[in-house]
């Protein structure tokens, strides 16, 4: 009887569930678990590395993304036993500042195949040992490791599933990305890469949340958005290329996981023409006035930038600064040597500022930010600070307070010996104020430059700065022109005060821009700050003139300084609440529109409707002029209604990564951008930066005909 019981207990032991002990490494509870209660000789089962991760922490996928390290395990197995690679579940995107990583949170099972040797002895137990390594991150990252083991009984015939871990591992294997017979190809398009995927598995699938997780960490910029274009047989994702594309030809294949939310598939795309039917928008030819910049080389881009800089002097946003230029020029019209120095100092200020803006823009894009030309005006504190600066310049020109004894000091609130510092900062301010505008020729040049290596991008911005500074510098070296100006006299004071009003207008315009970005409380805040700021400068002016003398001057000066600090702190405090998101225009609007999204554009295109897309921003003066002159007129409204063109407006007043990506896709670094898509899948046309009623109406009529 005792011998029978002992044999029964031994038999039960042979088919007992595989045993493992969890190990707490600090922020992860790790253990090895098995799908089945045992393994037969020569059989393959699955075991899994289970991670239970602390709240707020995460571990990493096979490609960790911009930073991190994938989980791995080093096995020590009995002779003849083999373990395969992890079957990786679909990861999650894990934004960390400007970076995007790929990994897991909560609990995750990483299955792997385990094969027993054919000569494994039933009735024995195999002890599997492995050392697991994982990088666990929250705001900090901690490398952790665990010595794990799992006892797996060897049985004569395949064993039943483990009641606890069998279903869980089975589900992990079932939901893991797998090949599904999808056809995929990718193609370099200017600065971006189009990845198209087609196949029966995608027909009718919801692709709104589609995302491509590459297996290699260096093929794409993980932090950049992936705009989606839906087609009848698949989809196309627009990717920002990574380091592998900088070597000329680029990689021969893109392999990874295409995630569709609740489903995921392994895809391997080859370089070459995109499969038909992947995109509702397709790769139509671009009929563009001025081009999209994709085919420019450095010489042509620099020439376009030079011409764009020249034309930029005539754009509305630069008009206020022309007042400061005129004041500076009038002050030295009959002192040729001084005028030349002023011109060179102004030019130096322009060039240094253009290069500084370019460097900041390149650095932000390299860090993963979706920014473009005029990016600084997407920040409410920057807009508020510029509004106060314009107010200060205007009050200085009005004589409320003085900065130095020369007119050049009005340019930037700075003056030095001979006024050269004032002229330099007038150039600085001219560039800052000009940033909201995009002149003809500028768009393709900047669009090309910002897709090139830093040296080429800086060369394009340098050419833009030279074009912008050239007229003023040239005039300062033209004695015949300077001699025509009247000599300085009492008229100069009147002229100076008259020039204050364009600066008041610039300050008011910047407050209006801020009103498009922030809520009513934010608008009230900048208005209050402006009143306090003006009072501070008035007190500073009284102190400068010594109206109260001695102690009174000190009191007024101290109070002025305190109020200045208060006003600037209130304006620059970065807690502005955003304005309500714009929706579709009301039916009473002159030209009704809908808010832009790539999904809405794709849906309209799938319906065969012609579409007009307006990429705009409140701080873009060129955009606002086009709105008033060409896009809000009854004639354009009638043309929209008669042709059935759908009007989408992409508002870039505040940062929007999707809009930035779409601008980059069309070779643009900023707004405005006007796209017209023909009916029935007709060609896409890019309209000029400066619109007229006639240009818009003709484009709408052509789109309705499908071109």
Higher pLDDT, 648 or 505: 648
> Mean pLDDT throughout 404-423?
46
463: in domain: yes
In the chain, the number of structural domains is 4
In a domain, 211, yes or no: yes
Instruction: Say whether both 230 and 345 belong to one domain.
Output: no
Looking at 453, 469, 502, the residue that finishes a domain is 502
How many C-beta atoms lie closer than 10 Å to residue 492's C-beta?
15
CA dist 116 and 575 (Å) reads 62
Contacts with 418 (C-beta within 8 Å, 6 or more apart), sequence order: 338, 341
365 and 461 both lie in a single domain = yes
Q: In what order do the strands lie in the sheet with 99-104?
A: 59-65, 99-104, 92-96
* 11 assigned to some structural domain: no
From residue 173, alpha-carbon distances to 37, 185, 684 in Å are 17, 27, 44
CATH number for 263:
2.60.40
| 191 lies in the same domain as 165 | no
Residue 134 forms part of a structural domain = yes
Domain end point (choices 283, 313, 329): 283
- CA-nearest of 48, 176, 29 to 110 is 48
User: Does 256 map to a domain?
Assistant: yes
pLDDT of residue 235: 86
pLDDT number for residue 34: 94
What local confidence, expressed as pLDDT, does residue 103 receive? 95
**Which pLDDT belongs to residue 129?**
94
Residues 150 and 278 in one domain: no
Residues 213 and 361 in one domain: no
Give the domain extent around 143. 16-175
Tokens 């805040």 label which residue?
Answer: 525
- The answer to the question of residue 578 being in a domain is no
- Whether 326 and 469 map to the same domain: the answer is yes
Answer yes or no: is 5 within a domain.
no
Query: Rounded to whole angstroms, how far apart are CA atoms 445 and 435?
Result: 15
Q: Does 14 score more than 50 pLDDT?
A: no
Q: Is 546 among the domain residues? A: no
Q: Are residues 344 and 471 in the same domain?
A: yes
Residue finishing a domain among 283, 311, 330: 283
- pLDDT digits 0-9 by tens, 415-444: 333 467 777 877 887 777 776 666 666 766
Residue 320 confidence class, pLDDT cut points 50, 70, 90: low
Indicate if 125 and 257 belong to the same structural domain: no
Do 80 and 112 lie in one domain? The reply is yes
Give me the residues paired with residue 646 across strands.
611
User: CATH code at 50?
Assistant: 2.60.40.1250
Report the alpha-carbon distance of residue 112 to residue 43 in Å, rounded. Answer: 14
Of 87, 85, 84, give the one whose Cα is nearest residue 114.
Answer: 84
d(CA 414, CA 79): 80
What's the CA gap between 556 and 553, in Å, rounded? Answer: 5
Token pair listed for 684: 């896409």
Same domain, 234 and 349: no
Report which of 103, 115, 258, 106 is spatially closest to residue 178, judged by C-alpha positions: 258
The listed range with the strongest mean pLDDT (179-193, 257-271, 532-546) is 257-271
CATH number of the structural domain spanning residue 691: 3.40.30.10
Are residue 303 and residue 257 in the same domain, yes or no? no
User: Taking 80 as the threshold, does the pLDDT of residue 597 lie above it?
Assistant: yes
Model pLDDT for residues 350-375, shown as the tens digit of each residue: 899 888 888 877 776 565 455 566 66
User: What is the per-residue pLDDT across 554-574, written as a single tens digit (0 to 9) for each?
Assistant: 777 788 888 888 888 887 776
Which pLDDT score is estimated for 33? 95
pLDDT digits (tens, 9 = 90+) for 94-135: 988 788 999 999 999 999 999 999 999 999 999 999 999 999
Mean pLDDT score of the chain: 79
The pTM score is 0.45
- From CA 507, how far away is CA 519, in angstroms rounded? 19
Q: Are residues 274 and 134 in the same domain?
A: no
**Span 33-38, mean pLDDT?**
93
Q: List, in order, residues 6 or more apart from 128 with CB less than 8 Å away.
A: 32, 47, 75, 77, 78, 81, 83, 114, 149, 150, 151, 152
């Amino acid at each position: 009887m005792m011998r029978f019981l002992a044999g029964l207990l031994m038999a039960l032991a042979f088919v007992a569930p595989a045993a493992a002990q969890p190990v707490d490494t600090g922020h992860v509870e790790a253990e090895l678990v098995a799908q089945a209660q045992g393994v037969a000789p020569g059989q393959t089962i699955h075991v899994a590395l289970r991670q239970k991760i602390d709240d707020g922490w995460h571990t990493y996928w096979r490609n960790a993304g911009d930073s991190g390290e994938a989980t791995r395990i080093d096995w020590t197995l009995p002779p003849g036993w083999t373990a395969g690679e992890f079957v990786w579940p679909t990861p999650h995107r894990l934004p960390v500042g400007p970076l995007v990583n790929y990994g897991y949170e909560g609990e995750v099972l990483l299955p792997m195949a385990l094969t027993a040797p054919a000569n494994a002895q039933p009735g024995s137990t195999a002890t599997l040992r492995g050392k697991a390594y994982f990088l666990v991150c929250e705001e900090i990252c901690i490398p952790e490791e665990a010595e794990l083991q799992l006892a797996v009984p060897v049985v004569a015939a395949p064993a039943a599933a483990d009641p606890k871990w069998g279903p869980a591992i089975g589900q992990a294997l079932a939901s893991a990305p797998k090949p599904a017979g999808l056809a995929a190809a990718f193609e370099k398009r200017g600065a971006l890469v189009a990845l198209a995927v087609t196949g029966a598995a995608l027909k009718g699938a919801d692709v709104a949340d589609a995302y491509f997780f590459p297996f290699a960490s260096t093929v794409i910029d993980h932090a950049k958005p992936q705009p989606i274009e839906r087609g009848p047989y698949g989809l196309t994702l627009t990717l920002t290329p990574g380091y592998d594309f900088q070597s000329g030809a680029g990689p021969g294949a893109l392999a990874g996981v295409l995630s569709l939310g609740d489903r995921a598939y392994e895809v391997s795309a080859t370089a070459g023409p995109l499969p038909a039917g992947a995109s509702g928008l397709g790769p139509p030819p671009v009929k563009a006035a001025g081009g999209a910049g994709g085919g420019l080389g450095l010489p042509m881009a620099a020439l376009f930038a030079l011409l764009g800089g020249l034309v930029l002097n005539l754009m509305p946003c630069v008009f206020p600064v022309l007042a400061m230029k005129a004041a500076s020029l009038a002050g030295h019209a009959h002192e040729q040597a001084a005028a030349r120095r002023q011109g060179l100092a102004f030019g130096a200020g322009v060039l240094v500022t253009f290069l500084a803006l370019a460097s900041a823009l390149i650095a932000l894009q390299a860090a993963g930010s979706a920014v473009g030309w005029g990016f600084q005006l997407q920040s409410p504190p920057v807009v508020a600070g510029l509004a106060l600066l314009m107010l200060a310049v205007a009050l200085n020109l009005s004589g409320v307070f003085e900065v130095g004894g020369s007119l050049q000091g009005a340019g930037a609130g700075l003056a030095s010996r001979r006024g050269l510092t004032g002229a330099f900062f007038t150039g600085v301010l001219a560039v800052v104020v000009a940033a909201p505008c995009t002149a003809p020729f500028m768009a393709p040049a900047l669009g090309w430059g910002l897709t090139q290596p830093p040296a080429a991008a800086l060369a394009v911005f340098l050419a833009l700065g030279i074009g912008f500074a050239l007229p003023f510098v040239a005039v300062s070296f033209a004695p015949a022109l300077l001699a025509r100006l009247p000599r300085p006299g009492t008229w100069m004071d009147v002229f100076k005060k008259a020039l204050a009003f364009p600066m008041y207008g610039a300050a008011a315009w910047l407050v209006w821009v801020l009103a498009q970005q922030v809520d009513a409380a934010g608008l009230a805040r900048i208005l209050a700050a402006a009143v306090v700021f003006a009072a501070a400068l008035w007190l500073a002016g009284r102190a400068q003139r010594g109206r109260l003398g001695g102690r009174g001057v000190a009191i007024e000066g101290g109070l002025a300084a305190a109020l200045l600090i208060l006003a600037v702190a209130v304006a620059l405090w970065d807690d502005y609440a955003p304005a309500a998101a714009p929706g579709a225009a009301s039916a009473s609007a002159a030209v009704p529109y809908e808010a832009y999204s790539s999904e809405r554009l794709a849906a309209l295109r799938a319906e065969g409707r012609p579409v007009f897309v307006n990429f705009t921003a409140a701080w873009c003066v060129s955009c606002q002029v086009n709105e008033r002159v060409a896009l809000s007129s009854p004639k354009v409204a009638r043309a929209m209604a008669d042709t059935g063109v759908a009007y989408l407006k992409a508002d870039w007043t505040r940062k929007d990564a999707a809009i930035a990506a779409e601008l980059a896709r069309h070779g643009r670094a900023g707004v405005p951008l006007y796209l017209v898509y023909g009916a029935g899948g007709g060609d896409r046309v890019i309209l000029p930066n400066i619109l007229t009623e006639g240009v818009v109406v003709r484009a709408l009529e052509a789109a309705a005909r499908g071109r």
